A and B are shown apart, each in its own frame.
Chain A
Amino acid sequence: MSDAVKHAGLNLGATDEETHEQAESELFGFWVFLMSDAVIFALLFATYGVMLPATVGGPTPASEYKIAPAFVETLILLTSSFTYGMASIAMKHGEPRRVLLGWMGATLGLGVVFLGLELHDFATMFGDGAWPSRSGYLSSFFALVPLHGLHVLVGCVWLVVMAAQVLTFGLDARVKINLLRLGLFWHFLDIVWIAIFSVVYLQGLIR
């Protein structure tokens, strides 16, 4: 391994030099993708901000947001980032495969619970007549928050695929790099959720 710049994010350990070189550009590319994705979220946040007053006599943030479930969802997602971090460390230190798979499974479980709670939130809102077609405000809410949920769903599917690959291929270079990519993705979702919790739910409390 040359002393070239290493990729940002978790390194693969000193024993695996060839993978380092490959990881450098592959993870850089994924960072670039995430930045592009961040632009999409930023624009949806901006749209939400502009549309917030457009409730046109329908449901309002104050009437719809329940802070308790949103807070629980936040805790669950933060915990899932922690469990994924543990999975990354297990991979880095070459722990037995079942440890890695265990932490991945825990992450998946938390992700699924998060999605379940979020869907429950949406169902409650629909019960109140808060449909995306009711007002500009609700349209922008349902463009922003479920898009994050969709990302979590993609992350969950990706976790399943990666678990299958760990079982099929073991930890070859491509599996390792993909696990690092998935890690970036999962932590990125966490960051976006923190923005959603602050900008959408907490702001909803004071309106």
Chain B
Amino acid sequence: MTQGLWPALLGRFDWQALPFVRAWETPTVSEIIGAGAASIVIVGAIGLMALLTYLHAWRYLWKEWLTSLDHKRIGIMYVVLAFVMLSRALVEAVLMRMQQASAIDAPGFVEPDHFAQLFSTHGSIMIFFMAMPFLTGVINYVTPLQIGARDVAFPLLNSISLWLTGGAAGLMMVSLVIGRFSTGGWSGYPPYTELAFSPDVGPDYWIWAVTLGSVASTLTGLNFATTIYKMRCPGMTLMRMPLFVWTALCTSILMIFAMPPLTVATALLALDRYLGAHFFTNDLGGNMMMYANLFWLFGHPEVYILILPAFGVYSEVVSTFSSKELYGYTSLVLATMAIAVLSFTVWVHHFFTMGQNANLNAVFGIATMTIGVPTGVKIYDWIWTMFRGEVRFTVPMLYSLAFMMTFVLGGFTGILLAFPPLDYLVHNTLFLVAHFHNMLIPGTLYGMLAAYHYWFPKAFGFRLNERWGRISFGCWVVGFYTAFMPLYVLGASGAARRTQAFYEPAFRPWLYVAGVGALILLGALASLFVQLWISIRDRDANRVFAGDPWDGRGLEWSVSAPPPEFNYAVLPQVAARDPFFDGKRAGDPYAAPATYEDIEVPRNSMTGPVIGIVGAALAFALVWHIWWLAILCALGIVAAVIARSFARDVHRTVTAAEVARIDRHWRAAVAEAKPIPRHIETTSANRGLAEVPA
């Protein structure tokens, strides 16, 4: 089988690559779990296709969603992708906790190699295919609305970014069914991921999934930096931008400069694996430390790419639900920028123990601790925003409060880790795992869930169920503390991370508690889905078409929910921060404009889906060494780009009459709606028109 037609056609594929075959030949629990996961992917994919066919929804899906260049739809698709991947990665986390709880002086039920794949996919997915799509989706949806723009600067590029991310996530799913994933962790450190130690397809899946994702993020970054710099409505100066836009801007700049190092790191690793180069090998001049530097030159700013948008969300949420102007706007902006800059000065703290000298460690230790200062500024600003405000404990607000408590705890443990001597004691233990989950769960996940609850009514025109939102919130918080506080204890006691079995009986109670915590977190995710189901079921009772369910402050609340395709019938003029909030108090913000004009919107394009799908096929071909397919796909992408550059009829005009009809319809609904006071905003009385206190 090493020569002839088979490898020419199918590369290094053989039947052992299918988990079903492996489970048939050696039916251990671990293999059966693997085959079960693969079946879920296949059954899920087939079920979805069958459902779409049954509903005759293919055409609708393709025309209205998949080829859409509307930033709002692209944002929603990103968030859907994030929820799908969150489900998979959370299940993997639960599996790992169950394994560790059952493997104290015992082998447990997951084999070591399988366990290594679990922590590699869990980490890779949570960072690249859950957190990144989630925040990119929220930025996509909210930013153009908040700056009073009709769309992003490069709508087609936006679609291409979405589809490259989707293609990469698809590749992650395919790795469950065909072959196996990397066992080298989410950071893929060589020399372990080099050919000499990992000759299988696993690291290649990791390399190409991450590369597609990082290219997509670079493009997203440049798209949104340009959008925010160039597309703001008249009067929206930089220091009048909502804080979420500021964080979106800083995150975009971080993406522009921090994603290329990741691309370089994975590309050089690929050169090592595919062309026998010696960047990170053990022999012939390879230097693994180059990888550590390149990877963390990306990896640390990445932490802030993930966290800054959440900071922006909290700023919006805390201000809205305290009915107060954001306290210390300027200091929040400065703190955001300071964090963005400092994030590039600390990367060595990820490898304090790898042999550089003590002075270097000290410099990076101090730089690391410095980030605590602007972060602290932010926490105080949010607290002062609530002070003497009319605080309403809605679901997004609850997430914000839980974040403030939990994130500060995580920050303290971060300061501990920033001391190189202390880091020597706990590096590569569960203490670190506890720390970064302590930062990323409140610092990204809670933020994105707050954003989801806060802007959901804007996106879909009805509010989410409050009760199930609270249940889910409770589970996330209780589950987080139960699952991760024991890991601090375990880590401080020397329990190594990424360990498949423990030989210390004293760990048993802590591992059990952590296991229960993981199950509670699974319950949290389940309640989110229940909430979504119930909210869709009861959508008519909770419609907020008028568009302002929370007495909002920014421009995004001044249009209907959901907003029309062109966002604004007439582009707004801004004279201060919180323009809509001020407008409501100063007079009638719903006065109809005198005239309407034609509006150009981008026509749908299949370029994005084509590039995403062909890009994923290219990656798959490279993973399996199917060279003919790889060449074909590469040429296909070039051809698609060139062909698109010849397209001229790329805009569609919404006529002034159509704009007027849509706008008047909404204004009529606003005139009919009954304004409701804040204390009943979570009831069905809320139709999206806020009562303005006299």
Q: Give the interface of A toward B (CB within 8 A).
A: 24-26, 28-29, 32-33, 35-37, 39-40, 43-44, 47, 50-51, 54-56, 132-137, 139-140, 142-143, 157, 161, 165, 168-169, 172, 174, 178
Contact = CB atoms under 8 A, between A and B. Distances in A.
B277 A143 contact: yes
Contacts of A36: 218, 221-222, 256-257, 259-260
B104 interface: no
Nearest to B283: A56
A50 B285 contact: no
Contact of A25 (B226, B263, B264, B277): B226
Given A55-B285, A135-B278, A161-B642, A32 B231 contact: no
A40 B264 CA distance: 7
Given A29-B226, A33-B222, A165-B645, A39 B260 contact: yes
Contact of B648 (A137, A140, A174): A174
A139 B278 contact: yes
Given A35-B256, A36-B222, A40-B263, A25 B275 contact: no
B229 A136 contact: no
A33 to B, nearest CB: 5
B294 interface: yes
Contacts of B286: 54, 136, 139
Given A36-B260, A136-B278, A29 B646 contact: no
A136 B153 contact: no
Interface in B199-252: 218, 221-223, 225-226, 229-231
A48 to B, nearest CB: 11
A95 B320 CA distance: 58
B456 interface: no
A25 B261 contact: no
B279 A24 contact: no
B260 A47 contact: no
B278 A169 contact: no
A54 B285 contact: yes
Contacts of A25: 153, 226, 229-231
Contact residues of B: prevailing secondary structure: helix
A132 B285 contact: no
Contacts of A56: 284-285
Contact of B284 (A29, A135, A142): A135
B271 interface: yes
B257 A32 contact: no
Contacts of B230: 24-25, 28
B408 interface: no
Given A25-B230, A37-B260, A47-B264, 17 more contacts: A28-B226, A29-B226, A36-B222, A36-B257, A39-B261, A50-B287, A50-B290, A51-B290, A54-B287, A133-B275, A134-B284, A136-B278, A139-B286, A143-B277, A157-B638, A157-B642, A174-B648
B276 interface: yes
Contacts of A43: 260-261, 264, 294, 297
A47 B268 contact: yes
A47 B279 contact: yes
B154 interface: yes
B276 A132 contact: yes
- The 8 A-B pairs with the shortest beta carbon distances in the complex, nearest first, are A136-B285, A54-B285, A133-B276, A25-B230, A139-B277, A29-B226, A39-B260, A32-B222
Contact of A143 (B221, B231, B263, B271): B271
A58 to B, nearest CB: 8
A159 to B, nearest CB: 12
A178 B645 contact: yes
Contacts of A168: 646
Contacts of B294: 43, 47
Interface string B603-647: 000000000000000000000000000000000001000100110
B223 A29 contact: yes
Contacts of B276: 132-133
Contacts of A132: 271, 275-277
A136 B260 contact: no
Given A29-B154, A32-B225, A32-B226, A136 B275 contact: no
A81 B479 CA distance: 61
B289 to A, nearest CB: 8
Contact residues of A: prevailing secondary structure: helix
Interface in B639-666: 642, 645-646, 648
Contacts of A136: 278-279, 284-287
A25 B228 CA distance: 10
Contacts of A140: 279
Contacts of B638: 157
B298 to A, nearest CB: 10
A39 B646 contact: no
Contacts of B260: 36-37, 39-40, 43
Nearest to B638: A157
Interface string B264-275: 100110011001
A133 B271 CA distance: 9
B520 to A, nearest CB: 41
A54 B276 CA distance: 16
Contacts of B153: 25-26, 29
Which interface residue of B153, B279, B638 has the most chain A CB atoms within 10 A? B279
A169 B648 CA distance: 9
B139 to A, nearest CB: 16
A11 to B, nearest CB: 17
Nearest to A140: B279
Interface in B88-132: none
Contacts of B225: 32
Contacts of B271: 132, 139, 143
Interface string B366-388: 00000000000000000000000
A104 B585 CA distance: 59
Which interface residue of B231, B259, B648 has the most chain A CB atoms within 10 A? B648
Nearest to A174: B648
B285 A39 contact: no
Contacts of B261: 39, 43
A17 B198 CA distance: 58
A178 B222 CA distance: 17
A172 B646 CA distance: 12
Contacts of B642: 157, 161
B138 to A, nearest CB: 21
B218 A51 contact: no
Interface in B150-199: 153-154
Contacts of A172: 648
Contacts of A33: 222
A142 B277 contact: yes
A59 to B, nearest CB: 12
A39 B279 contact: no
Interface in B412-471: none
Contacts of A134: 284
A29 B222 contact: yes
Interface in B317-346: none
Nearest to A7: B230
8 contacts: A24-B230, A25-B226, A28-B230, A35-B256, A133-B278, A139-B271, A143-B271, A169-B648
A134 B256 CA distance: 33
A157 B278 CA distance: 31
A139 B646 contact: no
A37 B277 CA distance: 22
A125 to B, nearest CB: 15
B252 to A, nearest CB: 9
B152 to A, nearest CB: 10
B644 to A, nearest CB: 11
A157 B290 CA distance: 33
Which interface residue of A26, A29, A140, A165 has the most chain B CB atoms within 10 A? A29
Contacts of A135: 278, 284-285
A38 to B, nearest CB: 9
Contacts of B223: 29
B250 to A, nearest CB: 14
